[in-house]
Amino acid sequence: MTNEQHTAVVTGASQGLGYELAGALVARGWQVIVDARTPGPLDEATGAWGGSATAIAGDVNEPAHRRRLVDAVRNAGRLDLLVNNASTIGASPMPTLAEIDVATLRTVYDTNVIAPLSLTRAVLPYLVEARGIVVNISSDAAVEPYEGWGGYGPSKAALDHATAILAQEQPEIRAYAFDPGDMRTALHQAAFPDDDISDRPEAATVVPALLRLVDERPGSARVTAADLAGARGVA
């Protein structure tokens, strides 16, 4: 590998959107550094992709694990894309704000806000040097008040706002809060444990919108998959 090969970090890549996006980037010839909490599924994923994929199992909440991701970026020599995809809803079924315990709430914010911001800060010099892209995976729950989403929704709203501030502070890079819409994923099933979610689109259907974001590099913004599917030349 040379330093000319594009490099991405994708967290939470053993399943769902992270899995599909990382596989698509590998197919494009990118060097992709991926993580997930469970080693087995992560190793299976990188084996399925082939190509240049580095699997680092661990919890993105843990500083030592984030340091290992940064070490992998340092070894790659550059970073063109960071996708903060790893998320948690906390408890399933999701409790109301009156019922949610503080420990669960703290875990949600640590995973959905503190961890992605900490990782972004740690790799920011590489992103600036490459004039790279940060994609923070958001949700419509960040802007719509759904009953029972009092932990996850506000955490994504905080991540959205932090993304916008990052864009103001670091004009050399692009920073996007990306709302993929409903998907048929384990996280979505956990949010609705008693529902049949087979009518939701597969995560793979969202990947073209994300790749378009990477290719076209519109101005930093909060964007949805529907935005990118609906009109060329997002401003």
Q: Which residue has the higher pLDDT, 231 or 170?
A: 170
- Give the confidence band of 78 by pLDDT, cuts at 50, 70, 90: very high
Cα dihedral across residues 27, 30, 31, 33: positive or negative: negative
For residues 186-212, average pLDDT: 80
For residues 123 and 82, the answer to whether their CB atoms sit within 8 Å is yes
What residues does each domain of the chain span? 7-230
For residues 46-75, average pLDDT: 96
Residue 150 has pLDDT above 80, yes or no: yes
The region of weakest confidence among 26-30, 56-60, 194-198 is: 194-198
Q: Which residue has the higher pLDDT, 119 or 182?
A: 119
How would you label 34-45 residue by residue, b for 16+ Cβ within 10 Å and e otherwise? bbbbeeeebeeb
Contacts of residue 9, Cβ cutoff 8 Å, sequence gap at least 6: 32, 33, 34, 35, 69, 72, 73, 79, 81, 82, 83, 119, 123
Tally of CB atoms within 10 A around 192: 15
Residue 151 has pLDDT above 50, yes or no: yes
Residue 3 has pLDDT above 60, yes or no: no
- Give the confidence band of 233 by pLDDT, cuts at 50, 70, 90: very low
- The DSSP bridge partners found for residue 34 are 10, 55
Q: Which residue has the higher pLDDT, 198 or 47?
A: 47
Q: Report pLDDT for 203.
A: 85
Q: Report pLDDT for 229.
A: 79
For residues 50-71, average pLDDT: 96
Q: Residues with catalytic annotation?
A: 138, 152, 156
Highest mean pLDDT among 44-58, 103-117, 185-199 belongs to 103-117
- Give the confidence band of 200 by pLDDT, cuts at 50, 70, 90: confident
Tell me the CATH number of domain 7-230, given options 1.10.3720.10, 3.40.50.720, 1.10.760.10, 3.40.50.11540: 3.40.50.720
Work out the angle at residue 49's Cα, subtended by the Cα atoms of residues 82 and 64, and round it to the nearest 5 degrees: 45
Q: How far is CA 171 from CA 1, 121, 128, 175, 176, in A?
A: 29, 15, 9, 9, 12
Written as six digits, the tokens of 213 are: 């974001």
pLDDT averaged over every residue in the chain: 91
Q: What percent of the chain has pLDDT over 90?
A: 80
Q: Report pLDDT for 134.
A: 98
For residues 16-30, average pLDDT: 96
**Coil, helix or strand for 55?**
strand
Strand 7-10 and strand 133-137: the pairing is unpaired
